[in-house]
Amino acid sequence: MSRGRGARRAMSPPSRESPMKTRRRVVQLAFLLLTIAGVFLLRGNAERWCPFGGVEAIYTYIKEGNMLCSLGVSNFYILAGLIVLTVILRRAFCGYVCPIGALSEWLRGGAKRCGIKAVNVPRGLDRILSLLKYPLLALILYMTWRTAELWFRGFDPCYALLSRHGEDITFWAYVVAGAIVIASLFLVVPFCRWLCPLAAVLHLFSRFGFTRIKRDGETCIDCAKCSKACPMAIPVAELKEVGAARCTSCLECIAACPAVRGRRALVWGPPRRLGGAWSQPVLIAVLLLCLTAAVVASYAWPMPSFVQARGTEPAEVSAVELRIEELTCRGRGTLLWYFLDRDDMYAIDGYVKIEAWPGPGAARASISFDPGLAGEMAIREAITEPYYDAIADIWRTSPFMIEGYDPLGLLGEE
């Protein structure tokens, strides 16, 4: 007891805004601005870089070799990078990158400055509410696999806040986003703690996370400020090491910990038996390395996001690489296959397989075929020539144009 009283006299109060908290706010803001610039200025598709998209698409890709519309194999690379990141840093993605988490934190911070008190959620109720994300994840995956569409998009608060608000945004997405905004004025990151389906996926990997918060019982003065500062309601003051899967490595607990004779009772780093403290810049560097590596890998090794084949692959196979206009999504990939698998005068005999990377502009497609039964010209004609639908008794005009190919032979004319 005497040690605690002496420590209290010797401690120095933490600053109003610690360097750790400032660095994390800067990283959060940087990722948010990067996302906004990519979506609104560069007109990019944010869904193709969403790690949860990889979770939603994995079943369809394994079963059919195709991605859900609006997604790409980049979702898998980002998901893989995030899993590696989580194994090392626990749920640091949630604490430093996620836009919903950042906005929710800032809203609660602003409300606190305006004198709005936080609603105290009892620990038992908090634990029960934290289980809601698992049945929600199961429902999302079931409905996605059943409908072969991004079912959660209609309710996704992140998509509602960070998209160009087209026809695919539903009223319910705005309702969910609005509910999170209002709840965040009174609760600390409620969506991240209780409902986020990506958090449910990351939970398993975060449980075995390498780094953790460590508490020195000799230095600790039992003020419990660390527990009060934790946005995920982890009882840090009661633990020797924080091994909770819901830890986001935000280091708010360390920032709140009073220094006693220049030393805090809390540090962050590898397990106690493997070493001492690591600095927050190490955390940020590892986070950036994992996410950057995932982005680079998605461009360096681009897997096709649409695959379809007919027949048995022969001993000898030829392939033609094409750049095709209007091959924009999975639906258009299916239509392209419809033209390749036609049964009229432009039918392709024998084996044929398409591997495509749908997207804006002239999308890449690699089409393999049996050179003994078909040729490159037959492939081009099948893609661009009208198709007679005998069942509907109509001609279907192809919407596709192949870069550098002119079926009418007019490219060389003045």
216-242 confidence digits (pLDDT tens): 988 999 999 999 999 999 999 999 999
Residue 7 has pLDDT above 60, yes or no: no
Q: What is the mean pLDDT of residues 321-334?
A: 92
Contacts within 8 Å (CB) and 24+ apart, 290-295: 290/81, 290/82, 290/84, 290/85, 290/88, 291/78, 291/81, 291/82, 291/85, 291/97, 293/81, 294/77, 294/78, 294/80, 294/81, 294/82, 295/49, 295/74, 295/77, 295/78, 295/81
The pLDDT mean for the chain works out to 89
Tens-place pLDDT, residues 75-94: 999 999 999 999 999 999 99
The confidence score (pLDDT) of residue 17 equals 66
Residue 177 has pLDDT above 70, yes or no: yes
> What are the DSSP E strand ranges found in 181-317?
212-215, 241-242, 259-260, 266-269, 306-310
Residue 1 has pLDDT above 50, yes or no: no
CA distances 355 to 3, 69, 322, 329, Å, are 70, 16, 11, 13
The confidence score (pLDDT) of residue 261 equals 78
Residue 5 has pLDDT above 80, yes or no: no
Based on the number of CB atoms within 10 Å of its own CB, is 122 exposed (0-12), middle (13-18) or buried (19 or more)?
exposed
The confidence score (pLDDT) of residue 6 equals 43
Residue 277 has pLDDT above 90, yes or no: no
Q: What is the mean pLDDT of residues 328-333?
A: 88
Q: How far is CA 233 from the centre of its chain?
A: 24
Rounded to 10 deg, the angle between the 280-300 and 74-89 helix axes is: 160
Residue 397 has pLDDT above 80, yes or no: yes
The confidence score (pLDDT) of residue 414 equals 44
> Which of 158-172, 292-306, 314-328 has the lowest average pLDDT?
158-172
Using pLDDT thresholds of 50, 70 and 90, give the confidence band for residue 11. very low
Residue 116 has pLDDT above 50, yes or no: yes
Using pLDDT thresholds of 50, 70 and 90, give the confidence band for residue 167. low
